[in-house]
Structure 1
Amino acid sequence: MIQAPAKDRHARGRHDREIIALAVPAFGALIAEPLFVMVDSAIVGHLGTPQLAGLGIAAALLLTGVNIFVFLAYATTAAVARRVGAGDLPGAIRQGMDGIWLALLIGAAVVTVVLPTAPGLVDLFGASDTAAPYAITYLRISALGIPAMLIVLAATGVLRGLQDTRTPLYVAIGGFAANAALNAALVYGAGLGIAGSAWGTVIAQWAMAAAYLTVVVRGARRHGASLRPDAAGIRACAQAGVPLLVRTLSLRTVTLIATGVAANLGDTEVAAHQIILTLWSLLAFALDAIAIAGQAIIGRYLGAGDKEGARAACRRMVEWGIASGVVLGVLVILARPLFIPLFTSDQVVQDALLPALLVVAVSQPISGVVYILDGVLMGAGDGPYLAVAMIITLAVFAPVALLVPTLGGGLTALWWTMALMMTMRMLTLWVRTRSGRWLVTGATR
């Protein structure tokens, strides 16, 4: 048997250690916000169905409001990692502070919009007369935590760029525990009901933001980096984030179209679709953790001017993505008898769910490659291409998905269009990585 040269084996081993060290803690931090919602749902659910329905509507609005600004983490990670690779730690932290100031400004703007428009936003979701008051109460109070969560996104990007994913994990664990304790104390102990759940979450979110800021401020003082807002730096962060915002909105549009098509197919199909979408999101967290490691590692290599190191890291992470996708796909198939009954006992929904779930399992290796290459190009600061690639993918996906009710095939056909969407993403990202145009070195791009 032919063995790889010792030099290659050593390089792969080094990349593996870096990926594991960054990806495992990143996965824990990624699931913090969904866990917040789960705890809130579990506690509020005992207050009554209208309260839980109100929470569901408000939570969907809040998660959307936060997640569309995820570029605060991604763009900051890439920019900071480049500075780290170039050996400019003060500049790296300064770059990160620009991202944090931008997060604070965006957060303040979102709050000023949400507070007066909360009733209208809730009404758009078609909330019932009994659920709407609870949704408005939760949304208005929880909106006060949006600046904190955006600061958390930006500060998480700073620490990832500094090759530190452990601190975000620790903060996420602390925030989760504080949220659970505060919710129980304020909802039941203080008798504040759904308002107590909202206040508990807001306090936990600001505590997380304070913890992140403490770490970043200490680093800034240690390296002599300025903490003052810099208009030019903030503007540059915003400009770098616009393409990633376009990419994120395009992805959200894909999800909305898929859900709309499922709703058009019938109640059984949309119920099954939501269950699959939940699983799909969980699988995405696992793959995205490796992608986050890719952002930090690729940015550092390019900042150091090491194109070959970046190429080698990219190849190894793609191998990780494929392997992880295969493992996750097999787990989905093996665990389906345990997974499906957790969400529904309706045999009709289960029958609609099963074949579509197999499509998700089969497409996981493709998803693995997509998430890795997405992370690589983000780490390279290749946002404009990512935006264009996602728009092209959306243009291919939308007409095909919208034809599903006409052509037939039901939910399974819809999820085959989702697999087509992921295949299109893989092809556009593969073309870019093969071209080498993303290999732009230097402390800035």
Structure 2
Amino acid sequence: MRRCPTASTVDGPQREDQPPAPARTVAPARYAGRVVDVTGERVPARKVFGLAVPALGVLAAEPLYVLVDTAVVGHLGALPLAGLALGGVVLSQISTQLTFLSYGTTSRTARLHGAGRREEAVSEGVQATWLALAVGLVLVVAGQLLAHPIARALSGSDEIAGAAVSWLRIALFGAPLILVTMAGNGWMRGVQDAVRPLRYVLLGNGISAVLCPVLVYAAGWGLAGSAVANVVAQVISAGLFLRALVAEKAPLRPRLSVMRAQLTLGRDLVLRSLAFQACFISAAAVAARTSTAAVGAHQIVLQLWTFLSLVLDSVAIAAQSLIGAALGAESRSRAQGVAGQITAYGLIFGCALCALFAALSQVLPHAFTSDPAVLAEVPHAWWFFVVLQPIAGVVFALDGVLLGAGDAAFLRTATLASAAIGFLPLIWVSLALGWGLTGIWTGLSLFMVLRLAAVVFRWRSGHWAVTGAVRG
């Protein structure tokens, strides 16, 4: 894939295989007494969406597979379905907490790719894969030992815990492979190859979706058949990523210094992820203590929020790749231009989603429930969800920009501060004062507004745009 053109010898050398640098209009902003160019060079929209659309497919593949798995197991009865739900929540925490294997790897790989050092870029993928295997093996061992006490603590029921453990102890063998797939997505996005990861993930999940009912029903394995099908999906996808890595012919030996650097970036992303988990677990707990109808309505609106986050995150993933490559190529101007471009796309998409779900407010909730009490509670969260879409579009876009720049420490601090100042105090006050869903979603709104202020200020300051193949 052809790289975006650089501006000049100031921002980076002009390569022979690139077209002349496009003219740009400078719209400087003044911060802290200095002028920062926040316009810079743009890239063709097709380049952004050529990365974003396949990324959306990868992001959506797992939730779609979970829906199929749930539908298959659901016909076995309430207990197996409860076991699958609980086991799936535990397993999903692996990918939730270890996203640095994809996002962090994309950032580091993209810089090296932008600097024209492909072998070193792929080597980041090699080291991330070694790290994935090491962490994954630890999770397998720890998971086998802790599966029952964790399931028992979460469920409060020996029956449900037993079903969850029977599924989880099999599915955990796929943990190293889940992490390998995350690392594979990371380095491939970094070298701006977004199509092959989509094929690999769809192939694994597609075969598993066909295999799941065969093992559950025809083979008579029941809930265990679902877990085996899950592992098969991970084996196929991870195997394809490993084959692609070997085909690059980069050195395969482990390099502890690189892995340590990846873990440093990972630490910040894990802390940021924990802040999200604390917020959303608290929200669910407060909703559950409000009323049965409130928790049902919260679940409906939250799942829609999560789904739309995938759409907006796909643009952020494109930003990670493009920003990292621009900074690696020493083109601060292009990085600034792409950042502004991605932010504009995020705002446009957010506004479009806001208008769409405002129009669907009287129709869509009925697709999820016919319970009058739940439907009566939905508007208390719905309009917050609708109004937040443009804010979320900008926040997610700039998250991608800053992640692509390797500015994870700032994102960590901004997220932790927004959670501690905005979301968590307000959500527990809402429980004490009986504000219900209105209080919960007011807390989420404040959380998002504080994050918006933080990432916009950081973007406009230009401090994130540190050039070079490796962020110093």
Give the AA of the match of 1:198: A
Paired position in structure 1 for 2:380 = 355
1:318-359 Cα offsets, whole Å, 9 max, x none, are 110100001111222223344312321101101101231111
Q: Alignment partner for residue 302 of structure 1, among 327, 351, 354? A: 327
Asked if the contact 2:427–2:443 (Cα under 8 Å) also holds between the matched residues in 1, the reply is yes
CA shift, 1:412, in A, is: 2.2
Q: 1:404 aligns with which of 421, 430, 439?
A: 430
Deviations along 1:219-262, one digit per CA (max 9) or x if unpaired, are 2x1xxx20111122212211121111111111111111111111
- Indicate the residue corresponding to 1:31 in structure 2: 60
- Structure 1 residue 34: deviation in Å? 1.4
Do the aligned residues in 2 keep the contact of 1:57 with 1:127 (CA within 8 Å)? no
Per the TM alignment, residue 63 of structure 1 is displaced from its structure 2 partner at its CA by 0.5
Distance of 1:122 and 1:409 partners within structure 2: 31
Residue pairs, 1:293-372, within 5 angstroms: 293-372=318-397
Please name the residue that 2:17 is paired with.
none
C-alpha displacement at 1:127, in angstroms?
Answer: 4.5
Poorly superposed stretches of 4+, deviation over 6 Å: none
286, 301, 305: which one aligns with 1:261: 286
Equivalent residues of 1:356, 1:412 under 8 A apart: yes
Residue 218 of structure 2 is aligned to residue 189 of structure 1: yes
Stretch moving more, 148-157 or 180-189: 180-189
Letter in 1 for 2:384: V
**Structure 2 CA distance, aligned partners of 1:341 and 1:179?**
31
Q: 2:230 is matched with which residue: 196, 201, 217?
A: 201
Q: How far apart, in 1, do the equivalents of 2:297 and 2:255 lie?
A: 49
* Aligned positions of 1:48-63 closer than 5 A: 48-63=77-92
Counterpart secondary structure, 2:157: coil
Q: Distance in 2 between matches of 1:131 and 1:165?
A: 40
The SS at the match of 1:403 is: helix
CA displacement at 1:206 relative to structure 2: 1.1
Aligned partner (choices 156, 162, 178) of residue 185 of structure 2? 156
Aligned to 1:434: 460
Would the aligned equivalents of 1:250 and 1:394 in 2 still touch at CA under 8 Å? yes
Q: Shift of residue 164 of structure 1? A: 1.2
56-65 or 127-136, larger mean C-alpha shift: 127-136
Distance 1:267 1:241 in 2: 38
Aligned position for 2:259: 234
Provide, for residues 71-127 of structure 1, a one-character-per-residue CA deviation record: whole Å limited to 9, x for no partner.
Answer: 110000000000011000011001111111111111111111111111111101125
In structure 2, the partner of 1:88 is 117
Aligned to 2:135, which of 106, 122, 144? 106
Opposite residue 418 of structure 1, the aligned amino acid is L
Aligned to 2:107: 78
Inter-partner Cα distance in structure 2 for 1:101 and 1:334: 48
Structure 2 vs 1, CA of residues 170 and 335 (structure 1 numbering), >3 Å: closer, same or farther?
farther
Count of aligned residue pairs for this structure pair: 435
Q: What amino acid sits opposite 2:418 in the alignment? A: T
Structure 1 CA distance, aligned partners of 2:137 and 2:366? 42
Provide the residue aligned with 2:444 in structure 1: 418
| Distance apart, 1:13 and its partner CA | 7.0
Match of 1:285 in 2: 310
The match for 1:375 is: 400
Deviations 1:110-163 (A, max 9, x none): 111111111111101125333222111101000011111111011100100011
Alignment of 1:134-153 (within 5 A): 134-153=163-182
Q: Which has the higher helix share?
A: 1
Normalised by the size of structure 2, how large is the TM-score? 0.90
Partner of 1:276: 301
Q: CA deviation at 1:36?
A: 2.4
RMSD (CA atoms): 1.5
Aligned residue type for 2:234: Q
User: In 1, distance between residues paired with 2:360 and 2:293?
Assistant: 22
The alignment partner of 2:378 has SS state of helix
User: Secondary structure at the residue paired with 1:31?
Assistant: helix
Structure 2: distance between partners of 1:31 and 1:337? 26
Match of 1:41 in 2: 70
Q: Which amino acid aligns with 2:237?
A: M
* Alignment gaps of 5+ in structure 1: 1-5
Give the unaligned 5+ runs of structure 2: 1-21, 26-39
Higher mean C-alpha deviation, range 71-80 or range 267-276: 267-276
Per-residue CA deviation, residues 380-437 of structure 1 (Å, 9 max, x unaligned), is: 0011111111111111121111111233432123112111111111111111111111
